[in-house]
Amino acid sequence: MECEVIAPSLIPKKASERIKTDRRDAEKLARCYRAGELTAVAVPSPE
């Protein structure tokens, strides 16, 4: 299974988005990911 890590600081957000819920966050992440607006970060290996 492929997994990408997105840094929270790289997630685009509007000033008007003040209410946070898990459902809203999940829908927003799904929309942004599908649109290609998210940038994955490299996770260092254990070595």
Q: Where are the domains of the chain?
A: 5-41
32/11 Cα distance (integer angstroms): 8
Tokens 């509007």, residue located: 14
From first to last of its 47 residues, the chain has per-residue pLDDT tens of 888 888 888 787 777 777 778 898 888 889 999 999 998 898 888 88
34/47 Cα distance (integer angstroms): 32
Name the residue among 34, 35, 33 with its Cα closest to residue 6. Answer: 33
pLDDT at 13: 78
Sign of the dihedral defined by the CA atoms of residues 14, 35, 20, 44, in that order: negative
pLDDT at 44: 86
16/42 Cα distance (integer angstroms): 30
pLDDT at 21: 84
